[in-house]
Amino acid sequence: MSKLIIAGREFHSRLLIGTGKFASCELMAEAIERSGTEIVTVALRRVDIENENDDILSAIDRNHYLLLPNTSGARDADEAVRLAKLARAATGINWLKLEVTPDPYYLLPDPVETLKAAEILVKDNFVVLPYINADPILAKKLEDAGTATVMPLASPIGSNQGLKTRAALEIIIEQANVPVVVDAGLGLPSHAADAMEIGADAVLVNTAIATAADPPEMAEAFKLAVEAGRMAFESGMPSISKRASASSPLTGFLRET
């Protein structure tokens, strides 16, 4: 299996993990370990970023994992940029999962404000991983702006519905020159494998792991599914047809002679 490269940095794992919704920090830490992930995202709203003893932050060993702060809860570009700068000033981390979600119910990303914030942050030397709807044009515009990845959603966050945006995801993957990380809505390991099989470079999973009855076990299930999906993709996928192709009814006679 090939390595994932984001902003020049190599990763063996193609599974990114979110840290919300866990029943305890101990369970979260165990799930992170079993997932084999190397990138862990934390919501700046949930942690005391300046406090090393913060429950969540202290459960994530920064020697093993890249801590990826996210701006979940930001309603516009201003808020996201302000939060990002404060987080970088406190931690020195310049990687950022950019989330601008003005609607508090479905938490869908705002394309206009996300692009605006990405342009500002890239110029300010952030490594920006933007969460977006599965919009191929927006993905290209973000790539042009210099983001390190694009992170299109598979379906609304936390909904566990799988690849509802498949057609648009396929276009984004086809056109992208940066890694495509499918984020949000992956409810089952098979959904993650599905995303990897269509050529996503990585996936991000949170709710499906955090709210499983046994989160560490589910984390490992996702690890295996992501690996299986990627290996299948790299091994050359068979083409899919609606019909069986048993013989050559029109040209069979050519072989008979």
Partner 1 sequence: MTNFGNNNSSIKTILAEKGLDSNGKYLRKQLDKICTNDVEKALSAPVGTYNFNKLLALISPAAEDYLEQMAQLAHQLTIQRFGPTIRLYAPLYLSNYCSNSCCYCGFNKDNKSERTRLTIDQALAEADIIASEGFRDILLVSSEDRQFISVDYLVELAGKLRGKFASISIEIYQLSCDEYARLFKAGIEGVTLYQETYDREAYRYYHPSGPKSDYDNRLRTPENIASAGMREVGLGVLLGLTDWRVEALALAEHAHYLIKRYWQSHVSFSFPRLRPAPEVGSSQFKHLLCDKNLVQMITALRLCFADAGLVLSTRERAQLRDHLVKLGITKFSAGSKTNPGGYSGRCKATEQFEIDDNRNPAQVAAMIRQQGFEPVWKDWDIAFIK
Binding of partner 1 at residue 218 (CB under 8 A)?
no
97 catalytically annotated: yes
Segment near partner 1 (CB under 8 A), from 76-84, 138-146, 189-197, 237-245? 76-84
Cβ distance to partner 1 smaller for residue 46 or 166: 46
Cβ distance to partner 1 smaller for residue 25 or 198: 25
In degrees, rounded to 5, the angle at the alpha carbon of residue 172 between the alpha carbons of residues 167 and 178 is 155
β-bridge mates for residue 128, sequence order: 96
Smallest gap from residue 94 Cβ to partner 1 (A):
17
The residue annotated as part of the active site, out of 21, 85, 97, 223, is: 97
Smallest gap from residue 136 Cβ to partner 1 (A):
25
Binding of partner 1 at residue 217 (CB under 8 A)?
no
Segment near partner 1 (CB under 8 A), from 72-80, 92-100, 132-140, 192-200? 72-80
> Mask: binding to partner 1, 173-212, rule CB under 8 A, as x and -?
----------------------------------x--xx-
Radius of gyration of the chain (CA): 20
- Which residues sit at the interface with partner 1, rule CB under 8 A? 20-25, 44-48, 73-75, 78-79, 82-83, 86, 102-105, 158, 160, 207, 210-211
User: Which residues are annotated as catalytic?
Assistant: 97
